Amino acid sequence: MLSRLNLAVRPCVYMCRCVHTKEKGKPLMLSPRTNKGMAFTLEERQILGLHGLLPPKIETQDIQAMRFKKNLEKIEDPLTKYIYVMGIQERNERLFYRVLLDNIEELMPIVYTPTVGLACSQYGHIFRRPKGVFISILDKGHIRSILDNWPDTDVKAVVVTDGERILGLGDLGVYGMGIPVGKMCLYTTCAGIDPHSCLPVCIDVGTNNEKLLQDPFYMGLYQKRDRSNRYDELIDEFMEAVVSKYGRNTLIQFEDFGNHNAFRFLRKYKDKYCTFNDDIQGTAAVALAGLLSAQRVINKPITEHKYLFLGAGEAALGIADLIVMAMKESGISEKEAQKKIWMFDMHGLLYEGRSKPIESHQQAYVHPAPDQLAETFLDAVNLLRPTAIIGVAGAGRLFTKEVICAMSSINERPIIFALSNPTAKAECTAEEAYTLTEGRCLFASGSPFDPVTLPDGRVFQPGQGNNAYIFPGVALAVILLGVRNISDQVFLEAAKALAEQVTNDELAQGRLYPPLCNIREVSICTAIKVAEFFYSNNLAFEYPEPKDKVKYFLSKLWKTDYESFLPDVYNWPESATKLPDL
């Protein structure tokens, strides 16, 4: 074992190492990127100027992870758990991602939905340390210089929100930053994407949330949302600044924009930039994957179903459009496919001649008026007799007992998807769906629910239609292959890839998605399927095409162990990671 005397005897070795080190001493422990806590070895402590700044014990990451887990188990309040978990990220990111990946089923509901919604609503009250880049309407004309302040220069993916429609919670302004931060955590956890190549961004153009405008802890502009042309000019400048600084193939993921702007920007940018909207396309893919899994259970193709949506916003329209695309692959026309899909919004069914307004992007699902009007969603179910109901309205428990029982009486195996987030906004619970249909329904939800045991002893594992099954894998393929545009077909391929990974045993348990504990493997398999699509359609820019894509993708994953990052972070040559025996 080395000692101070050893270093005195061989000062040339010590000095040689110091020349290569970027930083020394306490700053290494204050940076989450370089901090290992008590896992710094004795040699590292001596070389890096940490000797005496840590207790003498040298811990393994396993012990650190165990401490993290035990402390977490003592906390019952979800928001307090969120604060604790994200605090670890601010101190030791490798340990954070190690524990998150090892305990993904338990911790995803904390770092993302549903707890992230609560964290966003309280963002200014629990604020500890800024993460990501904040750009306000007052910064118009200076966005590139703001991006220059971000320390990481090799950014491959950006997640951006303007905070107008955070989950089912509405306009939270800059408090919505918790969503891009949470999404980036899932990029790394689910798909092994280097966290330093990810950039969360919040665009602040004001908020129409009166409660926030009266909140002394609110952290954004105290003004109503800017709806003028300046807003569009700001987003245009942002998009161009990103690709100007980081490259034309930088992935830009839109999150939680209001319906009108979400569709507008998707149409405007998708052919010009490498971009997608997760609320529209990611939600669509995970919902379609659930329907494809249900198809295997009841042996009834998606072309033979009638779908009734509760909600007609970006999630509903995204899902509907992807269902239509999948039906067209099965041989029916677009018009025939659209006729099988109905939508019910806050004003009732979408139909021709309705007195309430209908948006232009909803027109494809506006049908001739039915023989009788449906004043409630239950009326619509009884009138249209759908085989599947899909809830994406974010309006709470509107899949009532009567609605579920009606679906059960109409269908032998009703499909009930309660996809709204967070849990309080879900259209029904898993227990309600399984109990009221006597276990016959095919259920999926946007928020996690515990297994359901029926009186006869049967146990069902409800499937969570979480976008995390889709967007990390798609992003991994896009980033590694240098793709410059992302078409809707990519999400159809991702949906099919996800559905293929559900085993027959899992379907028998009531699952329509693979277990969340397998999310890393699921994401990589999805990425490989998407990569095959990119190469077969000449959309990839990484050549030669890897012969063994599994090996190639695995070799590119960011690792959570300490040993894999020391030479890179401290700028040591490989040969200098250990001192010679003295």
Residues 337 and 459 in one domain: yes
Helix H or strand E segment including 198: strand 198-204
**At residue 60, does pLDDT exceed 80?**
yes
Which of these is catalytic: 36, 81, 97, 112? Answer: 112
Predicted pLDDT at 422: 84
CATH number of the domain to which 119 belongs = 3.40.50.10380
- Asked if the structure places residue 511 within a domain, the reply is no
Residues 455 and 352 in one domain: yes
Q: What's the pLDDT band for 135 if we cut at 50, 70, 90?
A: very high
Query: For the chain, what is the total number of helices (H) and then of strands (E)?
Result: 27, 14
β-bridge pairing 275-277 and 307-310: unpaired
335 vs 361, more confident: 335
207-213 average pLDDT score:
97
CA–CA separation, 307 and 340 (whole Å): 6
- Asked if the structure places residue 504 within a domain, the reply is no
Each residue of 435-444: b (16+ CB within 10 Å) or e? Answer: bbbebebbbb
**At residue 575, does pLDDT exceed 60?**
no
Give whole-number Cα distances, 165 to 287, 393, 495, in Å.
Answer: 20, 12, 25
First to last CA, the chain: 9
390-405 average pLDDT score:
95
- Asked if the structure places residue 490 within a domain, the reply is no
Instruction: Identify residue 36 by its one-letter amino acid code.
Output: K
Predicted pLDDT at 578: 41
Predicted pLDDT at 2: 35
Give whole-number Cα distances, 125 to 85, 93, 256, 393, in Å.
Answer: 16, 23, 21, 28
Predicted pLDDT at 22: 54
Strands (E), 437-545: 442-445, 452-453, 459-460, 463-464
84 among known catalytic residues: no
Residues 94 and 50 in one domain: no
Residues 299 and 229 in one domain: no
Residues 111 and 162 in one domain: yes
Task: Identify whether the C-beta of residue 155 lies closer than 8 Å to the C-beta of residue 200.
Answer: no
Residues 295 and 332 in one domain: yes
40-67 average pLDDT score:
94
201-212 average pLDDT score:
98
183 among known catalytic residues: yes
CA–CA separation, 282 and 276 (whole Å): 8
CA–CA separation, 201 and 139 (whole Å): 14
Residues 244 and 287 in one domain: no
Task: Identify whether the C-beta of residue 392 lies closer than 8 Å to the C-beta of residue 311.
Answer: yes
Q: For the CA atoms of 436, 441, 447, 449, what is the dihedral angle to 10 degrees? A: 60
Give whole-number Cα distances, 399 to 345, 417, 430, 464, 560, in Å.
Answer: 14, 10, 11, 17, 42
Which of these is catalytic: 131, 156, 183, 549? Answer: 183
Local structure of residue 466 (DSSP, 8 states): -
**At residue 187, does pLDDT exceed 90?**
yes
140-161 average pLDDT score:
97
Predicted pLDDT at 539: 96
**% of the chain with per-residue pLDDT over 90:** 85
Residues 117 and 227 in one domain: yes
**At residue 316, does pLDDT exceed 60?**
yes
pLDDT digits (tens, 9 = 90+) for 463-520: 899 999 999 999 999 999 999 999 999 999 999 999 999 999 999 999 999 999 999 9
CA–CA separation, 347 and 357 (whole Å): 9
Predicted pLDDT at 563: 82
Overall number of domains in the chain: 3
Which residue range(s) make up the domain with 405?
Answer: 281-469
Query: How much of the chain is in helix, strand and coil states, percent to nearest 5?
Result: 50, 10, 40
286-309 average pLDDT score:
96
**At residue 373, does pLDDT exceed 90?**
no
Q: What global pTM score does this model have?
A: 0.90
160-166 average pLDDT score:
96
CA–CA separation, 220 and 204 (whole Å): 7
* Furthest-apart CA atoms within the chain: distance in Å: 95
